[in-house]
Chains A and B, each alone.
Chain A
């Protein structure tokens, strides 16, 4: 069946380093992708999105890359800070499938 998944369940980085969180999807019809950040005890927060007509989108300290050929999405966080420690999920949806599916999440831990 179709799925959205993450390559790594946990990621630990040093403060100041760059972080890369990966996500694979299998529905080739997916055309809209979102990254969410979820801090402990809180709801998921929107970070950045990308549509399938783009392969890169940049925000403040974050960049999302989309590789449709291999159905891969990544979130890059520059100069990772302790406040970036959280679970990050990708989500995908497609125009013909009125549904949004979420990955299980990757826990990012930033070491001081």
Chain B
């Protein structure tokens, strides 16, 4: 079955280190997204991509970057991890163009702790 996978599922890192969270989907979806989920805030969009070589900033993009070199992968990089980036990160994907009327399917999450 097609799926979306994230790795690592759990990571502890130190302040100032660069961290990359991987996301791989086998649905051949055009759109991919990264969200963070924090208590009291729900899901907040970090970055998204509507196709290869396309990337866009979301609501909370500061301190994060993404790249889209192929359809299947959208790695999320924290350039210099900060304690405020301790969170659960969800990768997601959808068919079609944009969020417009397209169901978003989520990965299982990556728990990141910055100490």
Query: Chain A interface (Cβ within 8 Å of chain B)?
Result: 31-32, 34, 36, 41-46, 49, 51, 89, 91, 93, 95, 98-100, 102-105
Contacts and interface: CB of A to CB of B under 8 A. Distances in A.
Contact of A45 (B41, B43, B106): B106
Given A42-B108, A43-B107, A89 B42 contact: yes
B90 interface: yes
The list of the 10 closest CB pairs from A to B, nearest first, reads A43-B106, A100-B99, A104-B42, A102-B43, A98-B98, A93-B99, A32-B101, A44-B106, A102-B42, A43-B108
Contacts of B104: 34, 46, 91, 100
A99 B45 contact: yes
Interface residues of B, number: 18
A103 B98 CA distance: 19
B41 A104 contact: yes
A92 to B, nearest CB: 10
**Chain B interface, >50% SS class:** loop
Interface of B: 40-43, 45, 90, 92, 98-101, 103-109
A43 B99 contact: no
A73 to B, nearest CB: 15
